[in-house]
A and B are shown apart, each in its own frame.
Chain A
């Protein structure tokens, strides 16, 4: 899901080696080298808005300016950070990499590298990409798709982080319910959710909400304390770099759209297991949606993998065991009701575990 990207990432994000042990990253980097046996170096880019690959391999999430990890098959990795040498104190806690330098050292450090892997290169500015191409005589190889394929199946450690994010998501959803039941307006309820997430030590929290009963979603732009019924809110929370997301919907009136969406979601979840075709599920939801149409928010995104990114690349065709997905069912009618519900699931060979699911009240 797209959310409004903040100008600075604020929230607890120091590397916690009790939750994300160094071994976990060692295994990932070793798997990368194994997949590219003729590669000796890798250049991994991340920005504050696009950094899943960098976080996957180093735990480093740039809060402000971009960062680049230089990985070598034999030897210690190096982390380059933006913002000047005085920023090093704020960078050290974010990763296990201890050898750090300002980003402007990039060209010198990679000069003469032959056929390095480039990961996340599409996120970097053209000038940076040109610097890399020149320093490596244009020999770079894009390994980004491979890293995304590595990121699909979650390890127990990753799953534990996502479960913690789901716990925080549940608290945020409860805060919305409590605020709405106490008569709060839209943004007061949204702020209550964000507060609950912050108090539960969320690394980040993003919200979208509807002012028109779920027909459209929007980010926080200004205080708006009108009461909405139904109230439709999207919340995403992050913990140990891993995201969880979900839709909360509250209605005091008979809610045909919400009930049908919930039933379709339940039916969808009952069918998901390793090997289930994603298209099959989409067709099943679409065919059961009448008299509603599929909501524009979920039209092109009724499932997506989730983990280190809220809007990962699309294109998956089947659910695979070990993956974590957000499954969303959205319904709309031109002059009628609208509803979006969702669930976070971990896929198994013989089914799935529901990590979080919308409650409709």
Chain B
């Protein structure tokens, strides 16, 4: 599948929904959990607020801020690009002639934008599902970019093992890793990294210094050409205890079961159940639910975060071409929170991990 195939799918869905056009919006604050319908429609990742209009005849318009970014936007698939000072005002001008309008991205807009837009097109209907359903599987390019992002993540992890040491702060290590992965081509990175003797969760880095006995948690998530991939890894400062090694092996086993359960046609919830079953069998049933764990993985954007969370309430049937994370990321009372996860591509035969090396408990000198 390529970008144009996806666009054709969206156009077919628009006809079915009786829409003359779709207006997609994004405020430019890119976030791993915030899907970007503008990127889905255009392939463009904006600096500021941006809007994309797709009409039922297949023509499209891209409105970008700041206005001086229009030329870069012109490198996207869209022929007509408007550099605007005020994205909403320009969008209002463009939508003047359209009757049946679908809007995507409204839920994630700041209220200052959403309120104005609502008054400009009060009768518009939500079109998020339409766009993001069409982007539930990745294009060939996005899959290739996910593979490259995964390769960069693994190189980042190797670098982490080479340089992490007691006395270094979480912030210092995170900033260094982000820079190193950028030097490999990753334009962005959702790099959660923290440490402690008994972690409760993986969190953004702070100025805390690594100490012997710490367990470092790292969700290494570079983006390559707009496509994220993630690896979840756990590293001890000093040698791991036998108990920790044993419990980490359990979490890896749970992940393996989740990967094995992911096949075409299977609801995503089954992947979560397969992971939980391994942990429940070892007596950790109460730790398989909030507040200890919310999900066992998730989709990977930025454009679309489908097929959504690896969670018991997600019945999305898996399809070849979907890319998502499977990460048990389990809190255990004996060890604290442990990170273990791989990005996978769903194929006709099952889930193919994109990593060259699967998660294994590692250590750095203490």
Contact = CB atoms under 8 A, between A and B. Distances in A.
Interface string B81-116: 001010000000000000000000011111110110
A300 B111 contact: no
B110 A123 contact: yes
Contacts of A195: 179
Contacts of A6: 30, 188-189
A86 B176 CA distance: 25
A121 B106 CA distance: 16
Interface stretch (B68-76, B308-316, B356-364): B68-76
A227 interface: no
Contacts of A48: 29, 31
B45 interface: yes
A90 B30 contact: no
B201 interface: yes
Interface stretch (A31-39, A215-223, A243-251, A278-286): A215-223
Interface residues of B, number: 62
B294 A84 contact: yes
B283 interface: no
Contacts of B185: 222-223
Interface stretch (B123-131, B153-161, B203-211, B246-254): B203-211
A4 B110 CA distance: 17
Contacts of B179: 191, 194-195, 198
Contact of A93 (B31, B83, B206, B294): B206
B50 to A, nearest CB: 11
Contacts of B56: none
A49 B29 contact: yes
A262 interface: no
Interface string A80-97: 000011110110011000
Nearest to B185: A223
A89 B69 CA distance: 39
B29 A47 contact: yes
A14 interface: yes
Interface residues of A, number: 53
Contacts of A47: 29, 110
B32 A50 contact: no
- The CB with the most chain B CB atoms within 10 A, among A6, A13, A48, A296, is that of A6
Contacts of A10: 171, 174-175, 178, 189, 191, 204-205
A217 B207 CA distance: 33
B187 interface: yes
A216 B68 contact: yes
Interface string B173-209: 0111011001111011111101010001101111110
A324 B108 CA distance: 33
B188 A12 contact: no
B324 interface: no
Nearest to B337: A86
A103 to B, nearest CB: 14
Contacts of A50: 29, 110
Nearest to A300: B85
Contact of B47 (A63, A87, A219): A219
A87 B175 CA distance: 20
A194 B291 contact: no
Given A198-B179, A218-B72, A299-B68, 15 more contacts: A3-B47, A4-B45, A4-B47, A5-B47, A6-B189, A7-B32, A7-B302, A8-B204, A12-B172, A89-B200, A122-B111, A122-B112, A296-B68, A297-B68, A300-B85
Query: 6 closest Cβ contacts across the A-B interface?
Result: A122-B112, A86-B201, A49-B29, A90-B203, A296-B68, A14-B207
Interface of B: 27-32, 45, 47-48, 65-69, 71-72, 83, 85, 106-112, 114-115, 169, 171-172, 174-176, 178-179, 182-185, 187-192, 194, 196, 200-201, 203-208, 221, 223, 225, 228, 291, 294, 302
Interface of A: 2-14, 47-50, 63-64, 84-87, 89-90, 93-94, 121-129, 191, 194-195, 198, 216-223, 296-297, 299-300, 311
14 contacts: A7-B30, A10-B171, A10-B191, A11-B174, A14-B207, A50-B29, A84-B291, A86-B201, A122-B112, A126-B109, A217-B68, A219-B187, A221-B45, A296-B83
